[in-house]
A and B are shown apart, each in its own frame.
Chain A
Amino acid sequence: MKLTGKQTRAWLLNFSAKIQEKKQDLNDLDQAIGDGDHGSNMARGVHAVEEAIKNENHTPASEILKKAAMAMVSKVGGASGPLYGTAFLEMAKVIDTEELPTVLAAGLDGVKKRSKADADEKTMADMWAPVVKALQEKKLTKDVINESVEATKELKATKGRASYLNEGSIGHLDPGSVSSSYLFFALLEEVDVNE
Chain B
Amino acid sequence: MSKPFGVLLASHVEELAFGVYKLLKESATNTPLTYAGGTDEGNIGSSFDKIMQAVEENEADHIYAFYDLGSAKMTLEMVSEMCDKSIEIVDCAFIEGAFTASVLINGGNEKEAIDKQLTPLKIK
Contacts from A to B (Cβ < 8 Å): 35, 37, 41, 73-79, 81-83, 85-86, 114-115, 159-161
B70 CB contacts on chain A under 8 angstroms: 79, 159-161
- Assembled-state Cα–Cα distance A41/B12 (Å): 14
B45 CB contacts on chain A under 8 angstroms: 37, 41, 76-78
A82 to B77, Cβ gap below 8 A? Answer: yes
B78 to A77, Cβ gap below 8 A? Answer: no
- Assembled-state Cα–Cα distance A79/B70 (Å): 7
Chosen A-B contacts, 18 in total, with CB atoms closer than 8 Å, are A37-B45, A73-B75, A74-B47, A74-B48, A75-B40, A77-B40, A77-B45, A77-B47, A78-B46, A79-B71, A81-B46, A81-B48, A81-B71, A82-B71, A82-B78, A114-B78, A161-B69, A161-B70
A75 CB contacts on chain B under 8 angstroms: 40
B74 to A77, Cβ gap below 8 A? Answer: no
B43 CB contacts on chain A under 8 angstroms: 77
- Assembled-state Cα–Cα distance A76/B49 (Å): 12
Give the residue name and chain of the A residue nearest to B69 (CB): A161
B47 to A86, Cβ gap below 8 A? Answer: no
B78 to A85, Cβ gap below 8 A? Answer: yes
- B79 CB to nearest A CB, Å: 9
